[in-house]
Amino acid sequence: MDSRGELVWVEDKYGQAMDFKVQQYRGQNYLTFWTGSDTGTFGTGSYLMLDSSYQVYKRVKPTIGLGGDLHEFKITRNGTALMTVYEPTSANLSAFGIAGQGWIYDSIFQEIDIGTGEVVFEWRASQHYDIEDTFHTIEAEARRPDSSGHKIAHIGESPHTAWDFFHINSVDKDEESGNYYVSSRYMHTVTCINPHGDILWILGGKKNQFTDLSMGRATNFSFQHHARMHENNILTLFDNGKYDSRSKNAEYSRGLVISLDVEKMTASLVREYVHPDHRLVGSQGSVQLLPGSDHALVGWGYVPAFTEFDAQGQVLCDVHIAPSIFWGFGWVKSYRAFRSSSWVGMPSTPPSVYLRPRDKRVYVSWNGATEVDIWVLQGRAEVETEIQLGVNATEDDTFQDLTYIRKERFETSFSIKADMPRYLRVAAVDRQGHILGYTEVVDRRVGNAPSDVAYHFVISTCAIVVTSCLGWYLWRRWHNSRRGGQKRQWNPLGRFWHRKSSLITSVDPEKEAAPLRTGWDENENVDMDEPQQGDDIEHGAGGLV
C-alpha cells in the first residue's frame, strides 16, 4: 500500500507469503518473500524474487536438501542471501526426561551465492549453544498447537516431534567485518558470530555478557524477533515479552534501539517504542529505522498493525489492517512490516477497465502500477475492423480525449455522459506526460463488467437461510412452551447471547441468575493447557514464529 493506505499491488497465486519487502540485488530492486507450508512454528519452502513487472526473477532455496524457513531471507551487497533452516537432529535429552535417542530441531542459517547457488557460510546452533540455556521447555512445546490446531505429543522422541530448543528467527550481517548477528527466540539472545563461526559475544539470556547501563531495560528482552545491527553498534529488535498464556515476561511488547559498546561490553537503551494500546504480542514483529529520517516503523506481528514513530518516540500514525476486536484470534497478521520509497512497479499486464451500462460509469485500475499520475478517458464513435473490442489498444489508434482524473486511489471511475462516443478506453499517463498503457476498448452500450446475478443469488440465499433458521428456532420455543398442556412463560430470546457489563453471557430465564464472572480466584483449578480467548496462540497456518 502507499503512504495514504491505498492498495498498490495484491496477488494471491503464491499461497502463504511471509517477510514481504523490497531488496536490492545487483543494482536492481526486487520484491522478495518466502512462500511454502507453515508447520506452526517454522516454515518449509523457498524464497521468490519478483522484478519491477512482478514476474518471478529467481527462486532461491537452501542447499542441504531441506526447505527454506519463513523467518529470514536477506540479500547482502555482495550478491548473497542469508536464510534460515530447521533440521531434525539427534541429541542426548536424558537430562530432560527423554530416554534413549532424543531429537531436536537444529537452527541453521546459510549464506548462499544467489547467482551460483553455492554455499558461502553455514552455522548450526547445536554446535555452539547448550540446550540447558533455553527458556522453552518440553512442556511448553507440548502446549503449542501444530498447523492443524492439534497439540503435539511425545516431544523430543522422534524426528517428527523434535524439540525446538533454540528457534532462530533473524540473521543479519556486517559486511565490513563479516560478522553475523543471530536472534534466538527461545534463548532470549542476540549472538555475534565471526566469519569462522565462533561466538564473539552474547546479548541477553542466561549467558548475557553485557553490563546493562539502563537498569536492565536493554538486556531483559524475551522471545524477541528481527534483530538488526546498524552503524556505530546500534542494535534494533522487537521485544515480544511473551510466548503464551504461561510465559508473559513483560507488561507490553516493545520496539528497542540499543547502543552497544563491544570493547567495554556495556549495553544502553536508546529508545523504546510501545503500541498506543500497550499491546503484548505473543509472536512475530519487526523494527525498521527509516532511512533519511530519525523515524522508526514498528510492525506488531501477530497483532495486525504497524506504527510509525518520530525521533522522540511520538506516534505519527497507527495503521490497523484488521479490526482490533479480532486481534486475539490471529485470523489476520503481518509477520513483519516495512516501508520503502524506492519501489517502481511497471506491470507487464495492461490496465483493467470495467463498464456496466446501467451504472453510467467506467472503472479503471492497474494492479501494481506506481507511476500513473492521470487517467485519461478516450472515445471514438466507430471502431474499425482491425480494432477489436476486448483487445488492448495501442498508441497508434486515434481516440479523442474526453476527460481526465488524477489518480488518487487504487480504482478510479469516470461518469459516462450521454454525448460521449460509443467506444471507450482509458489511457494511463505518468507525471512527464508519457502514456504508460491503455485499457481494452469497450462498447458503452454493452459493457464488459462481470454479471452480478450470482452475487445477488448468494446474498438472497443467505438471507433466506438465516430467516428460516430464526423462524424455526422461534417456532420450537413457542411449541415447547405449550407441549403437554404446560403453561410456561414464552421468552423467544431466552437463550440468545447478549452483552452485559462488557461480558458475553448466556441467560436461561428458568434458572436463577448467577452472578457475572469478572475474573477467577488465583487458587482455582483452571485448565491452562487449553488456549483461552485472547491468548496469542496461533491456530492453523501461522503458528508461533
The pLDDT of residue 531 is: 39
Mean pLDDT of 256-265: 99
Q: Is the pLDDT of residue 390 over 70?
A: no
Backbone torsions φ then ψ of 54, nearest 5 degrees? 70, 25
495-509 confidence digits (pLDDT tens): 433 333 333 333 333
Nearest CA among 304, 153, 164 for reference residue 223: 164
Mean pLDDT of 80-84: 99
DSSP state of 329: G
The pLDDT of residue 398 is: 81
Q: Is the pLDDT of residue 132 over 90?
A: yes
CATH 2.120.10.30 residue ranges of the chain are: 17-329
Q: What grid cell was written down for 487? A: 403453561
Q: Which CATH class is domain 17-329?
A: mainly beta
The pLDDT of residue 534 is: 41
Q: Is the pLDDT of residue 387 over 70?
A: no
How far lies 210's CA from each of 167, 230, 246, 461, in Å? Answer: 22, 18, 28, 65
CATH 2.60.40.10 residue ranges of the chain are: 352-443
The pLDDT of residue 243 is: 84
* pTM score, whole prediction: 0.81
Place of cell 519452502: 45
The CATH architecture that domain 352-443 belongs to is: Sandwich (2.60)
Q: Is the pLDDT of residue 66 over 70?
A: yes
Round the average pLDDT of the chain to a whole number and report it.
Answer: 87
The pLDDT of residue 397 is: 66
The strand ranges marked E within 93-157 are 102-113, 119-124
Burial 453-467 (b: 16+ CB within 10 A, else e): eeeeeeeeeeeeeee
Residue with the larger pLDDT of the pair 162 and 489? 162
Nearest CA among 158, 164, 46, 17 for reference residue 544: 164
Specify burial of residue 268 (Cβ count, 10 A radius: 0-12, 13-18, 19+): middle
The pLDDT of residue 326 is: 87
User: Which residue type occupies 323?
Assistant: P
The pLDDT of residue 457 is: 64
Q: Is the pLDDT of residue 112 over 60?
A: yes
Q: How confident is the model at residue 237 (pLDDT cuts 50, 70, 90)?
A: very high
**Cα distance between residue 101 and residue 88, in whole Å:** 12
